[in-house]
Amino acid sequence: MKKSPFWKRKSLHEMTVDEWESLCDGCGICCLEKVEDEETGKIQITPISCEYLDTVNCRCLVYEDRFHLNPECLELSVDRLEHIEWLPSTCAYKCLSQGRGLEWWHPLVSGDLNTVHEAGISVRDRVLPGQHVHPEDILGNRD
């Protein structure tokens, strides 16, 4: 009898580092610049990607050094999940933490890294690389 996939058998706390990392569907939304509304505290996701995001494959170009090269980079952990409200409802980490399963297009389900793009879930073709955008273009003139 075939064993069920690890994400159906284990809690997020029980997963190995490799299992945890493989949950990332490669949508790239975590790698978009965010702006916090000073009045409400609400986080708004912009269409501007981190300069290190490969906007075609939606993967980090400097993954091993990302926290060193970009101090703003989000380190996602089980304990932080409940405090990161801006994660999309499609995020595998969020889905599993809420007792939901993975979507058909998730690479672990489909066996294909491209289904996240084919399903229109990723930021591919919908963002501007951060190195080509001035911060004032994101925030506008607030004087």
27-63 pLDDT per residue, tens: 999 999 998 889 998 999 999 999 999 999 999 999 9
pLDDT at site 142: 46
CA distance 70 to 9: 34
Rounded to two decimals, the pTM is: 0.86
pLDDT at site 141: 46
- Residue 45, in any domain of the structure: yes
- Residue 72, in any domain of the structure: yes
CA distance 28 to 103: 16
Phi and psi at residue 46, to the nearest 5°: -95, 165
- Residue 132, in any domain of the structure: yes
Chain mean position to CA 102: 14
Question: Is the pLDDT reported for residue 143 higher than 50?
Answer: no
Helices H / strands E in the chain, number of each: 8, 5
pLDDT at site 131: 77
How many domains are contained in the chain? 1
pLDDT at site 135: 60
pLDDT at site 137: 64
Range of the domain at 12: 6-139
- Residue 1, in any domain of the structure: no
pLDDT at site 107: 98
CA distance 123 to 35: 17
Q: Tell the residue number behind the tokens 């190195």, with chain if given.
A: 131
For residue 133, give both structure tokens: 């955008």
CA distance 61 to 54: 6
User: What's the pLDDT band for 132 if we cut at 50, 70, 90?
Assistant: confident
Percent of the chain with pLDDT over 90: 77
pLDDT at site 140: 55
Label residues 24-48 b or e (16+ Cβ within 10 Å = b): bbbbbbbbbbeeeeeeeeeeebbeb
CA distance 3 to 1: 7
Could you give the 3-state DSSP secondary structure of residue 75? coil
pLDDT at site 82: 85
pLDDT tens digits, one per residue of 64-123: 999 999 998 989 999 999 889 899 999 999 999 999 999 999 999 999 999 999 999 999
